[in-house]
A and B are shown apart, each in its own frame.
Chain A
């Protein structure tokens, strides 16, 4: 059955799976979530529960994002196929998103409206966009791996 190889990318054995995949979604979900709760804070005219949500989401995203950076480096060291242009671009975006969200966490530590509007919201949007493109590029790199295997 000669189907499209893209439907069955992994034939390389579990030892060659990227371990970064374990926690890959967590910072993506957290940073997008923080953008959503920031929008809710703005929309609610200052209901502080949304600021608290954003602060925890950013902190959690930073924690797992930091681990993810390390795991990605390990993966790129282990698996030469990942050292593609998509792989490097994805890695750079992850690091960029992490730095933006680190600054964002300081902004979100302010007391009240200026923790979000406007700078926190802008940084949350930038971080979310970066982490989304990162996720897409990283999957792209992994699928390429499958094809070549």
Chain B
């Protein structure tokens, strides 16, 4: 892998003279990120760390006063977490199946780089039984709230690249990559045997470039919201492949009727309503191959009916020169997002701190799981950041809350994805390539009684 790293670096040095977009990622956070000129390098910069996993006793780093421990290890690509009020924690073990159709000689090369980033060593996944990798929801039961589950059980198996998960009353909704499913579920159950009902089909298909379908429910439970990522980096599979994609859908769970709630969002994940409000928030992965410092990923509140630019423009009216034919009518109405997270961090998880066991400054703030970059030689992301909120709006700079996913040897132990707050106020982190669910607590392990 280091060879690929070096080759790419050498070729970049050959192709581009000097340092491109010479700004610091810290200039690209907050409401007004510095946006340099697009630079299309001759060979797109690639920096993907080897994945070596966590050795016994190794763990990510947390600030002083906090503790981190593995709640579960040996999982298969845990990507999302749903803590339930009774203390059970649902973990989504998932990955994409198959590779995208090859349109250009570039496509298999890109697939190879992505598989390296997932620790596949460029080979096909072989974990699990004969029928491919696990695609399931695993239940962890931690009745006493000490972060050490007494029971681990497969709640639902044989899903289709699931990602989004949310509970409304006794209905458990799971967003497979190609459909939203509803399972009857009584909290306390450890296995669901009843067949699901399909609420609505979601765009999947052969390409399914951004396959993770994030899911949440409105505070009153009357609507579902699903994140449907784009089918390409910047529409290079053609506009037809993007029908109803790069959007957040609003779905009526009773009828399956849906509409596009907001669009122009390249790959929206981490859908969450701000606590005590009707404002939907998301983190979005912006486009690649415009240089190491374009385009910053972002966190934003989602305005109904709004258009956020993709693929025609970014951060308002910054037109992407790669997209033809252009749509000046859409660019004109594109709105900039609320809060930039810096470029290529791959923000995939978002949760607001609703617990009470962390210090007061954390209340109502956002934790963002940054899976980490591939399209820049200096890695960015690979951490969980915290962003303080005041009056329902983000303030200040992101704070690196959980780090150490990249070791001192520049190899990846893990990569954070989904984040959630459990009933004790601890932060849970799904670490897909590390196969672990991490649990962050403050000071002494919190007790249920203190809540």
Most chain B beta-carbon neighbours within 10 Å: one of A48, A103, A111, A112: A111
Tell me whether A110 is interfacial, beta carbon within 8 Å. Answer: yes
* Cβ A106 vs Cβ B43 within 8 A: yes
Tell me whether A146 is interfacial, beta carbon within 8 Å. Answer: no
The 4 A-B pairs at the shortest CB distance, nearest first, are namely A46-B324, A112-B322, A111-B236, A113-B324
Across the interface, which residues of A come within 8 angstroms of B233, CB to CB?
111
Tell me whether A114 is interfacial, beta carbon within 8 Å. Answer: yes
Closest B residue to A59 by beta carbon equals B105
Closest chain A CB from B261 CB (angstroms): 27
Closest A residue to B322 by beta carbon equals A112
Q: What are 21 inter-chain pairs, A to B, with CB distance below 8 A?
A: A45-B325, A46-B324, A46-B325, A48-B103, A48-B236, A48-B237, A48-B238, A52-B104, A55-B106, A56-B105, A105-B105, A106-B15, A106-B43, A109-B44, A109-B105, A110-B40, A111-B235, A112-B235, A112-B236, A112-B322, A113-B323
For the complex, give the distance between the alpha carbons of A137 and B237 in Å. 40
B42 partner, pick from A106, A112, A113, beta carbons under 8 A: A106
Closest chain B CB from A14 CB (angstroms): 36
* Cβ A55 vs Cβ B236 within 8 A: no
Taking A48-B103, A109-B104, A112-B236 as given, write out 20 further A-B residue pairs in contact, using a Cβ cutoff of 8 Å, ordered by the A residue number.
Answer: A45-B325, A46-B325, A48-B236, A51-B236, A52-B103, A56-B104, A56-B105, A59-B105, A107-B42, A109-B44, A111-B232, A111-B233, A111-B236, A111-B289, A112-B234, A112-B322, A112-B323, A113-B322, A113-B324, A115-B322
Closest chain A CB from B327 CB (angstroms): 12
Tell me whether B359 is interfacial, beta carbon within 8 Å. Answer: no
* Cβ B106 vs Cβ A113 within 8 A: no
Tell me whether B65 is interfacial, beta carbon within 8 Å. Answer: no
Looking at chain B's contact residues, the main secondary structure is: loop
Closest chain A CB from B366 CB (angstroms): 31
* Cβ A113 vs Cβ B237 within 8 A: no
For the complex, give the distance between the alpha carbons of A46 and B289 in Å. 19
Looking at chain A's contact residues, the main secondary structure is: helix
Tell me whether B321 is interfacial, beta carbon within 8 Å. Answer: yes
For chain A, which range describes its interface: under 10, 10 to 19, 20 to 34, or 35 or more residues?
A: 20 to 34
Closest chain A CB from B435 CB (angstroms): 32
Binding site for B on A (CB under 8 A): 45-46, 48, 51-52, 55-56, 59, 103, 105-115
Across the interface, which residues of B come within 8 angstroms of A55, CB to CB?
104-106
Across the interface, which residues of A come within 8 angstroms of B234, CB to CB?
111-112
Across the interface, which residues of B come within 8 angstroms of A45, CB to CB?
324-325
Closest B residue to A119 by beta carbon equals B40
A111 partner, pick from B43, B322, B325, beta carbons under 8 A: B322
Closest chain A CB from B13 CB (angstroms): 14
